[in-house]
Amino acid sequence: MSNYHIKHLEEYYQVYRKSVRNPEVFWAEIAEEHFMWRKKWDKVLSWDFSKPEIKWFEGAKLNITENCIDRHLYTRGDKTAILFEPNNPNEEAQHITYKQLHERVCRFASVLYEQGIRKGDRVCIYLPMIPELAVAVLACARIGAIHSVVFAGFSANALATRVNDADCKMVITSDGSYRGAKTIDLKGIVDEALKQCSCVETVLVAKRINSKINMKEGRDLWLQPLLDDAYHDFPPEEMNAEDPLFILYTSGSTGQPKGMVHTTAGYMVYTAYTFKNVFQYREEDVYWCTADIGWITGHSYIIYGPLCNGATTVMFEGVPSYPDFSRFWQIVEKHKVNQFYTAPTAIRALAKEGVSHVEKHDLSSIKVLGTVGEPINEEAWHWYDDNVGKKKAPIVDTWWQTETGGIMITPIPFATPTKPTYATLPFIGIQPALMDENGEEISGNQVDGRLCVKFPWPSIARTIWGNHQRYKDTYFSAYENKYFTGDGALRDEVGYYRITGRVDDVIIVSGHNLGTAPIEDTINEHPAVVESAIVGFPHDIKGSALYGYVTLKETGETRNQDNLRKEINQIITEQIGPIAKLDKIQFTNGLPKTRSGKIMRRILRKIASNDTSNLGDTSTLLNPEVVQEIMDNAL
Ligand code: PRX
C-alpha cells in the first residue's frame, strides 16, 4: 500500500490513523519518498501553539521549483505543464511544456537577479491570469525571493497597502488585462498605487493588451526585451525548509489585511500530497481549477500542488460569462478536462442561466468535480452533480483557508461517500475539534460548535508578516493550544463535517473574504456619513451579499439618496475594489448600540435577512427606538 495515493475508504482510515498516531514518522515518509531534497531534515516537527511557533522539516534544504519543474524534465519534459486558455476563445491556447516552463522560469529568474532581487526580498505580482503570472511566481521561488501576489481586481489603494506592508522592492504587472469584453488599465492602477509607495525600485511590465501606457523613466521596464536577453538556465537557490516562500493577504474582521506567511518545505509537501489525493490525479489527466492565482486556491492548486505532481494544469484568463455562459463547458470539452475545481458562486451563476449551456458540450472527460471557498447550498450541489458530473463524478467539497495553505476537510473521490453540503472527513494528518461556548471541546457526533484544529499540519501559515502578535491573537488565543479557524461547523452521526459559515465579522461574498471593519472605515470617510455598519444577507448567486446601514450627518440630507449610494460604492471601489461594493444601502437615523457603545450587529443581520420574527434580547440596547425605524425602512 502506498501512503501517497489513497484509493479506498479503508485505506483512508488506515492512513489517517497512522498520520495522527505518529505524525512525524508519517510525514517524514511522505516527504522522503516523493520530493527532491538538497539536504534532509534534522527534525521533522517542532511546535508550540502558545508562542505560536511551528517548524516542519527543520534543517532540510531544497528549492520548490526543482520539485515543480526540474525533476520532471527527464520523465515528462514534453508534457504540457501549463495549458493557457486566453480570454478570447478565438485566440489560440498555449501548451507550455515542462521544458519550456523551465526555460521561461529560468529566464525570468535571471531578469529578477539582474534587477537586483535577492533571496528574502519581497516582490509584488499584480498580473492577470496570463502565463507570466505563474512564471513570475516560480521565478521568485527559484531565486528565493518572497512573492506577494495581489489579485488584479484590487484597487490602487488596496495594492499600495499590500506593497507597503511587505516592503516590496519590485512590482510585476502588465500594460492591462482582458476581462470578458472589457479591458482594464492595470498599469494605471499600479502607477496610482506607487505614488504612495517609496519602497518600490523597479516595475516590470508584461505586454498583454498592447495599450499605450506611461513608463516611468528609471523605474519601469518592459519585461520581454529583458527576457529575450536573459540566460536560459538559472540554478535554483538552496532554501531552508522554513524560509518564507510567499506572503498572501487575507481580510481580517478588523484593521489591515493580514499578510499570511507560508514557508517552503511543509507547504510543498502538503499541497502536493493533497492535490494527488483530493483530485485523484493520474498521469494523462488534464486538471483545471478556475480560481485566480491571486487567491490561495490558485497558489496551491493551480501552481504548486499540480506542478509538484507533474500535472497538466489549466490557466484560464477569462470569465465564465464571456462570450456566453457556456464558456467553462466549451473549455472542458476542448481540452478534455478530467478534474474541474470551482466555487459555489460560479456554480450558482451558471445554474441560473439554465442547462442548455451545459448540454451543448461533451463533458464526458470529467472524473472529479471540486468546490471551494464558501458553503455550497444543496440546490447548487445537485445542479453540479446532475448536469456537470452527470451523477458519475464525485464532488469534493473542500474546506480550507488562506491560513491553512492546503485542503483540510474533504472527501477523497471514489473512497469517501459524498453527502450534499458536507465537506465530510478530515484529510490525512488533520485533527479537527469542535469547541463550545465555554472553550471546551465537544466530543461525540451530531454536535455543532466552533471549528479548531488541535495539531499542526505541514502547510499551516507560520505568522502574519510583520505582526506575530496579531497571528497569535487571531488564531491561537480563543482556545488554548488550538488553531481557531473562525468558522462554525457541525459533525453528523458518522463524523462528517459540514461548515456552517464564519462566526466572526468576515463575510464571504462570491467566495471572497471581506472584513466588515475596513469597508465601514472607508464609508465613514464620505463627508456626509457619521457612521455605518455592514452585515451580510443571503444572496442567490453570491452566497452572501453586503447590506450597509449608514447614518448621515444631517438627517433629511437634501442630496438625492441614490446619488449618495453611488458615491459610497464609488469610494469602496476606489479604496478596496469592486468586490466590496454594497448591494443594499439603507440610510438610518442611528444604529442599535449596547450601553458600552457596541453596534448590535445581530439585530442588523436579522433585519437584512428579513428574519425579524425574533430579534432576541434587546434589553441591553441604549437606543431601542432605532430598531423599529430601521425595520420600517428595511430594503
Ligand atoms: O469560511 C470558510 C470558507 O472560506 C474561508 C476561507 O477563505 P479564504 O482564506 O479566502 O480561502 C478560500 C479558499 C481556500 C473559510 O474560513 N470556506 C472555504 N471553503 C469552504 C468554506 N466554507 C464552506 N465550505 C467550504 N468548502
Q: What is the pLDDT of residues 507-542, one digit of tens each?
A: 999 989 898 888 988 998 898 998 899 999 999 999
The rounded Å distance from CA 96 to ligand 1 centre is: 31
User: How many CA atoms are closer than 13 Å to the CA of 225, on its beta-carbon side?
Assistant: 3
Residue 501's pLDDT is: 87
Q: Which of 249, 253, 296, 401 to mutate to test the pocket of ligand 1 (most atoms within 8 A of CB)?
A: 401
Q: Which domains does the chain have, with CATH numbers?
A: 506-632 (3.30.300.30)
Cα separation, 153 vs 284, whole angstroms: 33
Residue 558's pLDDT is: 58
The rounded Å distance from CA 400 to ligand 1 centre is: 5
Give the pLDDT confidence of 464-498 residue by residue, as tens digits.
999 999 999 999 999 999 999 999 999 999 999 99
Of 547, 435, 548, the closest CA to residue 484 belongs to 435
Tell me the percentage of the chain whose pLDDT exceeds 90: 85
Residue 554's pLDDT is: 76
C-alpha distances in angstroms, 196 versus 163, 217, 221, 521, 524? Answer: 9, 18, 20, 19, 21
Whose Cα sits closest to atom 8 in ligand 1?
401
Residue 602's pLDDT is: 86
Statement: residue 557 has pLDDT above 70: no
Q: Which of 487, 502, 509 to mutate to test the pocket of ligand 1 (most atoms within 8 A of CB)?
A: 487
C-alpha distances in angstroms, 173 versus 137, 226, 577, 579? Answer: 12, 14, 17, 20
Beta pairing class for 43-48 and 53-58: antiparallel
The pLDDT of 582-598, averaged and rounded, is 87
Whose Cα sits closest to atom 14 in ligand 1?
401
Residue 559's pLDDT is: 67
The pLDDT of 320-341, averaged and rounded, is 97
Full DSSP string of 101-160: HHHHHHHHHHHHHHTT--TT-EEEE---SSHHHHHHHHHHHHHTPEEEE--TTS-HHHHH
The pLDDT of 289-311, averaged and rounded, is 98
Cite the beta strand spans of 492-567 per DSSP E. 497-502, 506-509, 512-515, 529-539, 543-552
Statement: residue 153 has pLDDT above 60: yes
Of 295, 294, 292, 283, the closest CA to residue 314 belongs to 292
Give the pLDDT confidence of 377-404 residue by residue, as tens digits.
999 999 999 999 999 999 999 999 999 9
Cα separation, 236 vs 124, whole angstroms: 20
Residue 183's pLDDT is: 97
CB 114 within 8 A of CB 226: yes
Nearest ligand 1 atom to the CA of 407 is 14
Statement: residue 2 has pLDDT above 80: no
Cα separation, 233 vs 223, whole angstroms: 17
Whose Cα sits closest to atom 4 in ligand 1?
373
Whose Cα sits closest to atom 21 in ligand 1?
374
Residue 556's pLDDT is: 60
The rounded Å distance from CA 197 to ligand 1 centre is: 31
Q: Which of 22-36, 74-88, 266-280, 595-609 shows the lowest mean pLDDT across its residues?
A: 595-609
Statement: residue 617 has pLDDT above 70: yes
What is the CB < 6 Å shell around ligand 1? 250, 296-297, 372-375, 397-402, 423, 485-487, 499, 502, 508, 513
Q: Which residue has the higher pLDDT, 350 or 556?
A: 350
**To which residue does cell 437606543 refer?**
623
As to burial, measured by CB atoms within 10 angstroms (0-12 exposed, 13-18 middle, 19+ buried), residue 212 is: exposed
Full DSSP string of 501-522: EESSSEEEETTEEEEHHHHHHH
Residue 555's pLDDT is: 62
Residue 594's pLDDT is: 79
Whose Cα sits closest to atom 25 in ligand 1?
399
Nearest ligand 1 atom to the CA of 371 is 26
Statement: residue 38 has pLDDT above 60: yes
Residue 380 has phi, psi (to 5 degrees) of: -65, -40
Cα separation, 391 vs 21, whole angstroms: 36
- The sign of the torsion formed by the CA atoms of 480, 482, 488, 494 equals negative
Statement: residue 305 has pLDDT above 90: yes
Q: Which of 6-15, 187-196, 615-624 shows the lowest mean pLDDT across its residues?
A: 615-624
Residue 622's pLDDT is: 81
The rounded Å distance from CA 558 to ligand 1 centre is: 42
Statement: residue 273 has pLDDT above 90: yes
Q: Which amino acid is at 427?
A: F
Whose Cα sits closest to atom 11 in ligand 1?
401
Whose Cα sits closest to atom 12 in ligand 1?
373
Omega within 30 of 0 (cis) for the link into 52: yes
Mean pLDDT across the chain: 95
Cα separation, 144 vs 331, whole angstroms: 35
Whose Cα sits closest to atom 26 in ligand 1?
399
Nearest ligand 1 atom to the CA of 410 is 26
Q: Which of 374, 452, 483 to mutate to test the pocket of ligand 1 (most atoms within 8 A of CB)?
A: 374
Give the pLDDT confidence of 401-426 residue by residue, as tens digits.
999 999 999 999 999 999 999 999 99
Q: Which residue has the higher pLDDT, 252 or 452?
A: 452
Residue 367 binned pLDDT confidence (cut-offs 50, 70, 90): very high
Statement: residue 1 has pLDDT above 60: no
Q: Is 331 helix (H, G, I), strand (E, B) or coil?
A: helix
